[in-house]
Chain A
Amino acid sequence: DQQVKQNSPSLSVQEGRISILNCDYTNSMFDYFLWYKKYPAEGPTFLISISSIKDKNEDGRFTVFLNKSAKHLSLHIVPSQPGDSAVYFCAASVYGSARQLTFGSGTQLTVLP
Protein backbone atom coordinates (compact mmCIF):
# COMPACT_ATOMS: atom_id res chain seq x y z
CA ASP A 1 0.00 0.00 0.00
CA GLN A 2 1.77 3.11 -1.27
CA GLN A 3 0.94 6.02 1.00
CA VAL A 4 2.76 8.49 -1.23
CA LYS A 5 2.25 8.23 -4.98
CA GLN A 6 3.84 9.92 -7.93
CA ASN A 7 1.79 8.72 -10.83
CA SER A 8 3.93 10.18 -13.59
CA PRO A 9 7.20 8.29 -13.95
CA SER A 10 8.49 10.85 -16.43
CA LEU A 11 7.93 14.41 -17.65
CA SER A 12 9.53 16.38 -20.50
CA VAL A 13 9.43 20.15 -20.60
CA GLN A 14 10.96 22.77 -22.88
CA GLU A 15 13.61 25.03 -21.38
CA GLY A 16 12.09 28.24 -20.02
CA ARG A 17 8.64 26.74 -19.52
CA ILE A 18 7.06 25.63 -16.26
CA SER A 19 7.56 22.11 -14.89
CA ILE A 20 4.81 20.78 -12.64
CA LEU A 21 5.45 17.61 -10.69
CA ASN A 22 2.59 16.04 -8.80
CA CYS A 23 2.30 13.90 -5.72
CA ASP A 24 -0.69 12.37 -3.91
CA TYR A 25 -0.84 10.91 -0.44
CA THR A 26 -3.35 8.87 1.48
CA ASN A 27 -2.32 9.19 5.14
CA SER A 28 -4.09 12.15 6.75
CA MET A 29 -1.55 12.05 9.61
CA PHE A 30 1.18 13.40 7.33
CA ASP A 31 1.95 16.96 8.33
CA TYR A 32 5.28 17.73 6.72
CA PHE A 33 6.16 17.30 3.07
CA LEU A 34 9.46 17.46 1.24
CA TRP A 35 10.76 17.35 -2.30
CA TYR A 36 14.14 15.85 -3.16
CA LYS A 37 16.15 15.94 -6.36
CA LYS A 38 18.38 13.08 -7.45
CA TYR A 39 21.04 12.98 -10.13
CA PRO A 40 22.34 9.62 -11.44
CA ALA A 41 24.85 7.90 -9.14
CA GLU A 42 24.18 10.41 -6.36
CA GLY A 43 21.93 10.35 -3.33
CA PRO A 44 18.79 12.49 -3.19
CA THR A 45 19.29 16.08 -2.05
CA PHE A 46 16.71 18.12 -0.18
CA LEU A 47 15.05 20.75 -2.34
CA ILE A 48 12.10 22.35 -0.57
CA SER A 49 9.60 21.51 2.13
CA ILE A 50 6.20 22.60 3.39
CA SER A 51 4.38 22.21 6.65
CA SER A 52 0.70 21.31 6.68
CA ILE A 53 -0.14 24.67 8.24
CA LYS A 54 0.78 26.33 4.94
CA ASP A 55 -0.51 25.89 1.42
CA LYS A 56 2.46 27.37 -0.42
CA ASN A 57 6.19 27.70 0.02
CA GLU A 58 8.49 29.41 -2.41
CA ASP A 59 12.27 29.30 -2.83
CA GLY A 60 13.60 30.98 -5.92
CA ARG A 61 12.42 29.11 -9.01
CA PHE A 62 10.83 26.38 -6.88
CA THR A 63 7.36 26.56 -5.35
CA VAL A 64 5.55 23.79 -3.53
CA PHE A 65 1.77 23.85 -3.23
CA LEU A 66 -0.19 21.78 -0.74
CA ASN A 67 -3.90 20.99 -1.03
CA LYS A 68 -4.76 19.18 2.19
CA SER A 69 -8.38 18.50 1.30
CA ALA A 70 -7.30 16.76 -1.89
CA LYS A 71 -4.22 15.21 -0.24
CA HIS A 72 -2.18 16.53 -3.11
CA LEU A 73 1.03 18.47 -3.42
CA SER A 74 2.87 19.77 -6.41
CA LEU A 75 6.27 21.21 -7.20
CA HIS A 76 6.48 24.02 -9.74
CA ILE A 77 9.77 24.93 -11.35
CA VAL A 78 9.77 28.12 -13.37
CA PRO A 79 11.57 28.80 -15.57
CA SER A 80 12.85 25.26 -16.13
CA GLN A 81 16.52 24.83 -16.98
CA PRO A 82 18.41 21.87 -18.49
CA GLY A 83 20.27 21.47 -15.17
CA ASP A 84 16.94 20.71 -13.52
CA SER A 85 16.83 17.38 -15.37
CA ALA A 86 16.83 14.79 -12.58
CA VAL A 87 14.54 12.44 -10.69
CA TYR A 88 12.29 14.25 -8.22
CA PHE A 89 10.94 12.46 -5.17
CA CYS A 90 8.22 13.73 -2.92
CA ALA A 91 8.16 12.55 0.68
CA ALA A 92 5.81 12.93 3.60
CA SER A 93 6.35 12.73 7.31
CA VAL A 94 4.38 12.58 10.54
CA TYR A 95 5.41 15.26 13.04
CA GLY A 96 8.38 16.02 10.79
CA SER A 97 9.97 12.82 11.96
CA ALA A 98 12.47 11.03 9.80
CA ARG A 99 11.26 7.76 11.28
CA GLN A 100 7.95 8.24 9.54
CA LEU A 101 9.37 9.57 6.28
CA THR A 102 7.61 7.96 3.33
CA PHE A 103 8.79 8.51 -0.22
CA GLY A 104 7.07 8.37 -3.58
CA SER A 105 8.61 6.42 -6.44
CA GLY A 106 9.93 9.50 -8.24
CA THR A 107 9.38 11.38 -11.50
CA GLN A 108 12.14 11.73 -14.08
CA LEU A 109 12.12 15.33 -15.32
CA THR A 110 13.85 16.10 -18.60
CA VAL A 111 14.23 19.73 -19.58
CA LEU A 112 14.88 20.04 -23.29
CA PRO A 113 17.15 22.85 -24.50
Chain B
Amino acid sequence: GAGVSQSPSNKVTEKGKDVELRCDPISGHTALYWYRQSLGQGLEFLIYFQGNSAPDKSGLPSDRFSAERTGGSVSTLTIQRTQQEDSAVYLCASSLGGDLKTQYFGPGTRLLVL
Protein backbone atom coordinates (compact mmCIF):
# COMPACT_ATOMS: atom_id res chain seq x y z
CA GLY B 1 0.00 0.00 0.00
CA ALA B 2 0.93 3.64 -0.29
CA GLY B 3 0.56 4.52 3.38
CA VAL B 4 2.46 3.83 6.59
CA SER B 5 1.82 0.32 7.84
CA GLN B 6 2.37 -1.11 11.29
CA SER B 7 2.33 -4.60 12.67
CA PRO B 8 0.92 -6.18 14.65
CA SER B 9 -2.27 -4.16 14.96
CA ASN B 10 -2.85 -5.56 18.45
CA LYS B 11 -0.49 -7.19 20.90
CA VAL B 12 -1.25 -8.68 24.28
CA THR B 13 1.72 -9.70 26.39
CA GLU B 14 2.58 -10.61 29.93
CA LYS B 15 4.49 -8.31 32.23
CA GLY B 16 8.22 -8.91 31.91
CA LYS B 17 8.16 -10.15 28.32
CA ASP B 18 9.86 -8.34 25.43
CA VAL B 19 7.85 -7.04 22.46
CA GLU B 20 8.79 -5.81 18.99
CA LEU B 21 6.64 -3.43 17.01
CA ARG B 22 7.23 -2.89 13.32
CA CYS B 23 6.75 0.13 11.08
CA ASP B 24 6.93 0.30 7.28
CA PRO B 25 7.11 3.96 6.27
CA ILE B 26 6.04 5.50 2.99
CA SER B 27 8.61 4.79 0.32
CA GLY B 28 10.95 7.75 -0.14
CA HIS B 29 10.20 9.33 3.22
CA THR B 30 13.49 10.03 4.93
CA ALA B 31 12.08 10.83 8.36
CA LEU B 32 10.42 8.32 10.67
CA TYR B 33 8.86 8.93 14.07
CA TRP B 34 7.51 6.83 16.90
CA TYR B 35 4.86 8.15 19.29
CA ARG B 36 2.68 6.56 21.89
CA GLN B 37 -0.73 7.46 23.19
CA SER B 38 -1.72 6.32 26.62
CA LEU B 39 -5.38 6.30 27.63
CA GLY B 40 -6.74 9.83 27.90
CA GLN B 41 -3.45 11.41 26.89
CA GLY B 42 -2.15 13.10 23.80
CA LEU B 43 0.49 11.60 21.57
CA GLU B 44 3.88 11.45 23.24
CA PHE B 45 7.02 11.71 21.11
CA LEU B 46 9.41 8.77 21.54
CA ILE B 47 12.10 8.77 18.85
CA TYR B 48 12.90 10.36 15.49
CA PHE B 49 15.05 9.09 12.62
CA GLN B 50 16.16 11.40 9.81
CA GLY B 51 18.18 9.93 6.98
CA ASN B 52 21.61 8.76 8.10
CA SER B 53 21.78 11.10 11.08
CA ALA B 54 21.93 9.79 14.62
CA PRO B 55 18.37 9.30 15.88
CA ASP B 56 16.85 11.66 18.40
CA LYS B 57 16.02 9.37 21.31
CA SER B 58 15.10 12.14 23.72
CA GLY B 59 11.51 10.95 24.11
CA LEU B 60 12.21 7.35 25.08
CA PRO B 61 10.85 6.92 28.63
CA SER B 62 13.41 4.42 29.86
CA ASP B 63 16.31 2.26 28.75
CA ARG B 64 13.88 -0.61 28.27
CA PHE B 65 12.83 1.14 25.06
CA SER B 66 14.95 1.04 21.92
CA ALA B 67 14.39 1.47 18.22
CA GLU B 68 16.30 0.89 15.06
CA ARG B 69 15.77 1.67 11.44
CA THR B 70 17.38 -0.65 8.94
CA GLY B 71 18.43 0.52 5.51
CA GLY B 72 16.69 3.83 6.00
CA SER B 73 13.31 2.15 5.70
CA VAL B 74 11.65 -0.31 8.10
CA SER B 75 11.83 0.48 11.80
CA THR B 76 11.41 -1.72 14.85
CA LEU B 77 10.52 -0.44 18.31
CA THR B 78 11.54 -2.87 21.04
CA ILE B 79 10.28 -2.78 24.60
CA GLN B 80 12.13 -5.06 26.99
CA ARG B 81 10.71 -6.40 30.24
CA THR B 82 7.34 -4.82 29.58
CA GLN B 83 5.44 -3.18 32.41
CA GLN B 84 1.72 -2.52 32.72
CA GLU B 85 2.30 1.22 32.26
CA ASP B 86 3.67 0.45 28.79
CA SER B 87 0.13 -0.34 27.67
CA ALA B 88 -0.72 2.21 25.00
CA VAL B 89 -1.22 2.70 21.29
CA TYR B 90 2.14 3.02 19.57
CA LEU B 91 2.01 5.13 16.42
CA CYS B 92 4.60 5.40 13.71
CA ALA B 93 4.76 8.24 11.19
CA SER B 94 6.97 9.18 8.28
CA SER B 95 7.56 12.39 6.36
CA LEU B 96 9.60 13.97 3.61
CA GLY B 97 12.50 15.41 5.53
CA GLY B 98 11.27 17.16 8.63
CA ASP B 99 8.24 18.79 6.99
CA LEU B 100 5.40 18.14 9.40
CA LYS B 101 2.80 18.87 6.75
CA THR B 102 3.94 15.78 4.85
CA GLN B 103 3.84 13.62 7.96
CA TYR B 104 1.60 10.58 7.63
CA PHE B 105 0.72 8.28 10.49
CA GLY B 106 0.22 4.55 10.52
CA PRO B 107 -2.85 3.00 12.17
CA GLY B 108 -0.91 2.12 15.31
CA THR B 109 -0.23 -0.97 17.38
CA ARG B 110 -2.39 -1.36 20.47
CA LEU B 111 -0.25 -2.92 23.18
CA LEU B 112 -1.76 -4.40 26.31
CA VAL B 113 0.54 -5.62 29.06
CA LEU B 114 -1.18 -7.89 31.54
Query: Which B residues are CB-close (under 8 A) to A89?
Result: 42-43
Q: How far is the CA of A4 from the CA of B43 in the complex (A)?
A: 11
Evaluate contact between A99 and B4: CB separation under 8 angstroms.
no
Chain B interface size band reads: 20 to 34
Which residues in B have some Cβ–Cβ distance to A below 8 Å? 4, 31, 33, 35, 40-45, 48, 56, 58, 91, 93, 95, 98, 100-101, 103-108
8 cross-chain CB contacts under 8 A = A34-B100, A44-B105, A45-B104, A46-B100, A89-B43, A98-B100, A99-B56, A104-B42
17 more CB-based (< 8 A) A-B contacts, given A98-B100, A105-B40:
A34-B100, A42-B107, A43-B4, A43-B91, A43-B106, A43-B108, A44-B105, A89-B42, A91-B43, A96-B98, A98-B95, A99-B45, A100-B45, A101-B45, A103-B43, A104-B42, A105-B42
Which residues in A have some Cβ–Cβ distance to B below 8 Å? 2, 4, 6, 32, 34, 41-46, 49, 89, 91, 93, 96-106
